[in-house]
Structure 1
Amino acid sequence: MNPAFAISVPRLQTERLMLREYRRHDFDLFADHLAKPESSAHLGSADRQTAWRIFSSHAGLWVLHGAGWWAVEDRQTGQLVGNVGAFFREQSTVMELGWNTYRAFWGKGIANEAATAVLNYAFEVRRESKVRALITSGNESSRRVAERVGMTYEMETELNGKAVNSYIRER
């Protein structure tokens, strides 16, 4: 890799998880997750080509904003279990928090643990004043994660022409 283009994605550790930079070999699991209707019911499924654009965009956000998405791996096994992000949308000045846990790891508290680590990073390291999560109506699992990490319902808004609920947490 050309060092002029190297970026540093901070690594975050929790008791069970390592949040780290995306790696090329992470893509197959990422694409498989987005292709499964049960896994992507609230995001919309994506074919492999679209998944590659999303994956690359997630990684590229670090270059544009110094914030982006992390791959989440189990520290004990090294297995990839999902992803979590703290990022900015094009027209927003408010950091957004997002998370996905791969289907085999649902119900194990991984999203809660990863989201908590990222919120701490956003507030303590980046000194963000607030962080928002946009959650589709009916996504009860993500609503519960947002509430468990101290976020509260703010309002209904729109994302890509679809109604979503905004949850917010302030420092």
Structure 2
Amino acid sequence: MGSPKATGVPVIETARTILRAHRLDDFDAYVARFIGGKPRTREESWMRFLRHAGLWSLIGYGFWAIEEKASGRFIGEAGFHDLKRDIEPSIDGVPEAGWALASEAHGRGLA
């Protein structure tokens, strides 16, 4: 089920996709995908999902859910985050771009 509350996340539409706020009904598709060759646990996926959904209200930018316009399916996410990485030189406060697409969306010119 989608969230009844306004999110403040801008919606971006292209010819084939809609970039929008994450919704609770995205989670099952979200937990099914994985990065780095191994699946995450449901708990790990939930924490990542919450982090991406909550960035907008805390820092004013974040990740969009990518919805395939023709089917309405969640097919990935893209956006910006600040992970407070402990690296040198520091990039603290600098938005990092990131994206991930479901395997069925690969090779279709979406990224």
Q: TM-score normalized by structure 1?
A: 0.55
Q: Hey, which of these two has a bigger chunk of strand by percent?
A: 1
Runs of 4+ in 1 over 3 A off after TM superposition: none
SS at match of 1:110: coil
Structure 2, unpaired ranges of 5+: 86-91
Q: Does 1:15 align with 2:10?
A: no
Are the aligned partners of 2:7 and 2:21 in contact in 1 as well (CA < 8 Å)? no
Distance 2:8 2:41 in 1: 29
Q: TM-score normalized by structure 2?
A: 0.82
Q: Identify the residue that residue 89 of structure 2 maps to in structure 1.
A: none
SS at match of 1:9: coil
Question: For residue 16 of structure 1, what is the amino acid of its counterpart?
Answer: R
Counting aligned pairs with the same residue, the percent is: 34
Q: Identify the residue that residue 26 of structure 2 maps to in structure 1.
A: 26
Greater mean alpha carbon deviation, residues 22-31 or residues 68-77? 68-77
Deviations 1:47-93 (A, max 9, x none): 10110000001001111101111110111221211111222223622
Distance 2:18 2:7 in 1: 18
Compare CA radii of gyration and give the structure with the larger one: 1
Q: Does 1:75 align with 2:69?
A: yes
Are the aligned partners of 1:67 and 1:88 in contact in 2 as well (CA < 8 Å)? no
Distance 1:2 1:83 in 2: 21
Distance 2:7 2:32 in 1: 27
- Output the aligned Cα RMSD: 2.1
Q: How many residues align?
A: 103
Structure 1, unpaired ranges of 5+: 35-39, 112-171
